A and B are shown apart, each in its own frame.
Chain A
Amino acid sequence: MSSGPKKPKVIQASAAEKAAHKLAQDQRRNYISTFRPLEDMYAAEAGQDFTGRLVGQTTSGAMRASTGSLQAAALGAAPVDTAALAADITRGGVGARATARRMTEDSLLSALGVGNGIATAGASSLSSAGRYQTEAAIANGRAAIAKDQADASWKEALVGGVAGLAGAYGTYKYLSGAAAPAAQAPVVVPQMSLNTAMSPGALSPLDVALGRRRQTPMF
């Protein structure tokens, strides 16, 4: 006699899987506690405006450099083009403003690079999670279908078995009911012709075929 199928064992997480999960959690915690504050600081400082500082430093340097020329010009009696001397200072200031603007925008763009990394990691995580969860849902769906098929198969087997038993019982009854009249057949035919109002010629072929069982002897 065969035994039924064994319930499958649930596949347990391997030591490596557990270790990988733990390591990932630790690394994530470390990232959050150590590096996320730095990222936040970087983001907060992004876009600072250094224009005043840079322009002040550059123009004051240019002024100091032009002071000697201005002194020499002041000592002479010739007309002095102070605007031309100032142009150097202005040029320094324009360059400083451009540099400051570049610094500001570069710092913003660098911060955006960090943000892009975070968004990419987030999207990648969600994609992976979605794939794993869809696969799990599909596997669960397959398991449900397999269970339904097994249930349906069991019910069909049950109905088929009942029908088979009933068929066997019917066959038994049929055979046991047909055995006795078969032995009396030579006797019944003359009795029937003698003791019934119906002559054998009036019987239908079905009555003829089944007649011996259907005709109960009158005595």
Chain B
Amino acid sequence: MAQFASPIAAEIAEIGRQDFQRYLETYKPIEQKTIATLDDSTVEASMDAAVGDAMRSRSALERMRGRYGTRVSAEQQAGENRRNSLSGALGVMTAGNNALLADRDNRNQTLASLVNYGQGMNDLAMNTFNSAAGMESARNAQNAANYAAYQQAKAQHRSGLISSAVSLGTTAAMIMA
């Protein structure tokens, strides 16, 4: 019996498989990498930087005073140290808080994008499911129709055989009589 092949459909299927394989190999790791960024934090680096920046500024001032020959009294120095200490602590806290807020903003943006991306993936999956279910439904409908046709043909065949047997039997009886 003639079987009609569909080579272009097979080609499309192969392309689809290749594309999906490429997505898995190349882009799935990026998904994981992007999700991992949600745990990133710049708070510690920012607070460390605040401490370092304050120390460097202090060192720069000391170098400049030495270069310019400026002198401060011990009392002034004590006051300056106290003020710098408080400002430095405030600067570290400010840096930490600002970094925290910036992180949260970034995290929310990334999270929102990932959620949208995930919904797109889910939509895609459901569309593919729908497509597969449509194929299954069409196949089942055809299988049911084929089965019904088979049953009908079988009944018709049996009926024909019985009819023929009766006819042959009658003929045989007539000949024997």
Contacts and interface: CB of A to CB of B under 8 A. Distances in A.
Residues of A contacting B: mostly: helix
B98 to A, nearest CB: 5
Interface residues of A, number: 97
A71 B64 contact: yes
Contact of B174 (A81, A140, A174): A174
Contact of B103 (A81, A101, A109, A130): A101
A208 B72 CA distance: 158
Given A115-B27, A116-B120, A138-B138, A108 B19 contact: no
B83 to A, nearest CB: 5
A169 B6 contact: no
Chain A CB within 10 Å — which of B18, B23, B99 has the most? Answer: B23
Interface string A1-40: 0000000001000000000010000001000000000001
A166 B166 CA distance: 11
A132 B167 contact: no
A171 to B, nearest CB: 7
A126 B17 contact: yes
Contact of B171 (A67, A148, A170): A170
Interface in A120-153: 120-145, 147-149, 152
A119 B53 contact: no
Interface in A88-126: 89-91, 93-95, 97-98, 101-102, 104-105, 108-109, 111-116, 118-126
Chain B CB within 10 Å — which of A85, A147, A164 has the most? Answer: A85
A74 B64 contact: yes
Interface of A: 10, 21, 28, 40, 43, 46-47, 51, 55, 59, 63, 66-67, 70-71, 73-87, 89-91, 93-95, 97-98, 101-102, 104-105, 108-109, 111-116, 118-145, 147-149, 152, 155-156, 159-160, 162-164, 166-167, 169-171, 173-174, 210
16 contacts: A47-B37, A74-B70, A78-B76, A86-B54, A87-B90, A90-B91, A94-B42, A94-B95, A109-B114, A112-B27, A112-B31, A128-B16, A140-B3, A156-B157, A167-B171, A170-B170
Interface of B: 1-6, 8-10, 12-13, 15-20, 22-23, 26-28, 30-31, 33-34, 37, 40, 42, 45-46, 49-50, 53-54, 56-58, 60-61, 64-65, 67-68, 70-72, 76-77, 79-80, 83-88, 90-91, 94-95, 98-99, 102-103, 105-106, 109-110, 113-114, 117, 120-121, 124-125, 127-128, 131-132, 134-135, 138-139, 142-143, 146, 149-150, 153, 156-157, 160-161, 163-164, 167-168, 170-172, 174-175, 177
